């Protein structure tokens, strides 16, 4: 049984990873009422020290006993770890917020973006899934449009940063960039092809239908989050040589006609969205500007040249923050409110 407290014990699973580290900073920055904090990882990270609230915390090994006395467990250590340990955490009385794809499409598992579908959380907080980064920023922008105009179809092409593939991918982009600038040959370890000064239309594995798993996540998760399985989505997911933040070119078709200025007003007054849309002054969302920020940035809102019910826009967000760590902490905040209510 949940007990209201002043502070709550938190475990971060995968604390040494790119997302795990940002979970720690986000807990701190959002002033989450953290009591005891466990930074959990695999055996090889034991003893590593991670910064938290001016001091450091030591990384401990993840075991089946790691969740005793923990109130919220935030997972970001890959699907197989989540598959195994999230149920153990829940058994121990935790709310388990999972950033992997392990549980997202399970029927009874809520898949939550707090600005979009908080009510899908329900009252029982067991495992709660955090959507994929490319989905989160898109649905934050789509939600107000869907509510007002009813979305029928979305055609999206992504420009995704390498940090979505983890710290080694960041190092690979750095090293390849240096080597190419120096006229040296490059090494490929993380990506199947050169990522520096190149674009790869390939994120995650290919499915039988010719789409990648990343693309299918955008389809399935968007429908689940917006609670409408009739929305058509045609995605193309592309990795670009950018370190942080994903950009997306979105074409959205609605049932009702849209006026650009009304959509701009709607977006700028919607939670989590920052409208950056003054192209004459070269102001539009940019990956490098979104980096380190929690918001979803939307710009280049313009109507299709022919159809009054079709709109194009450009949406950018930090894939490690709103696309992962901040959304997870926001879910914890939402769950906390529900449990305290």
Binding site for a second copy (CB under 8 A): 155, 157, 159, 173-174, 177-178, 181, 192-194, 197-202, 206, 209-212, 219, 232-234, 236, 238, 240-243, 247, 249, 251, 260, 279-280, 282, 284-288, 299-307, 310, 312, 314
Which of these is catalytic: 94, 125, 146, 246? 246
Residue among 90 and 180 whose Cβ is closer to a second copy: 180
Task: Note whether 28 and 77 are within 8 A (CB).
Answer: no
Active-site residue flag, 246: yes
Residue among 130 and 212 whose Cβ is closer to a second copy: 212
Closest separation between CB of residue 301 and a second copy, Å? Answer: 7
Q: For the chain, first and last CA: distance in Å?
A: 13
Closest separation between CB of residue 79 and a second copy, Å? Answer: 21
Residue among 14 and 285 whose Cβ is closer to a second copy: 285
Residue among 12 and 216 whose Cβ is closer to a second copy: 216
Which of these is catalytic: 94, 133, 146, 291? 133
Active-site residue flag, 133: yes
Packing angle, helices 326-340 and 18-29, rounded to 10:
50
Closest separation between CB of residue 173 and a second copy, Å? Answer: 8
Residue among 167 and 312 whose Cβ is closer to a second copy: 312
Closest separation between CB of residue 236 and a second copy, Å? Answer: 4
Closest separation between CB of residue 50 and a second copy, Å? Answer: 23
Residue among 198 and 265 whose Cβ is closer to a second copy: 198
Closest separation between CB of residue 69 and a second copy, Å? Answer: 42
Active site residues: 133, 246
């Amino acid at each position: 049984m949940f007990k209201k407290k002043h502070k709550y014990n938190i475990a971060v699973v995968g604390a040494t990873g790119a997302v795990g580290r940002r979970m720690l900073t986000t807990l701190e920055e959002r002033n989450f009422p953290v009591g005891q904090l466990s930074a959990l990882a695999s055996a090889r990270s034991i003893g590593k020290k991670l910064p938290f609230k001016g001091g450091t915390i030591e990384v401990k090994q993840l075991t089946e006993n790691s969740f005793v006395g923990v109130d919220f467990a935030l997972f970001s250590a890959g699907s197989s770890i989540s598959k195994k340990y999230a149920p153990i955490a829940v058994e121990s009385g935790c709310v388990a917020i999972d950033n992997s794809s392990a549980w997202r499409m399970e029927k009874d598992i809520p898949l939550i973006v707090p600005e979009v579908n908080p009510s899908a959380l329900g009252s029982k907080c067991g495992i709660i899934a955090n959507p994929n980064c490319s989905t989160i920023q898109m649905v934050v922008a789509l939600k107000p449009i869907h509510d007002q105009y009813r979305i029928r179809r979305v055609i999206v092409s992504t420009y995704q940063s390498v940090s979505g593939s983890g710290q080694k991918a960041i190092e690979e982009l750095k090293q390849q960039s240096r080597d190419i600038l120096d006229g040296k040959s490059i090494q490929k370890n993380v990506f199947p092809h050169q990522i520096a000064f190149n674009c790869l239309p390939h994120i995650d594995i290919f499915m039988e239908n010719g789409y990648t798993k990343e693309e299918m996540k955008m389809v399935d998760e968007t429908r689940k989050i917006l609670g409408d399985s009739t929305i058509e989505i045609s995605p193309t997911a592309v990795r670009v040589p950018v370190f942080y933040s994903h950009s997306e070119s979105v074409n959205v078709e609605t049932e009702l006609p849209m006026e650009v200025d009304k959509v701009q007003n709607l977006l700028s007054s919607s939670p989590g969205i920052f409208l950056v849309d003054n192209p004459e002054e070269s102001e539009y969302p940019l990956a490098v500007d979104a980096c380190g920020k929690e918001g979803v940035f939307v710009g280049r809102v313009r109507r299709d040249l022919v159809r009054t019910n079709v709109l194009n826009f450009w949406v950018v967000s930090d894939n490690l923050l709103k696309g992962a760590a901040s959304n997870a902490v926001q879910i914890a905040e939402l769950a906390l409110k529900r449990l305290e209510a």
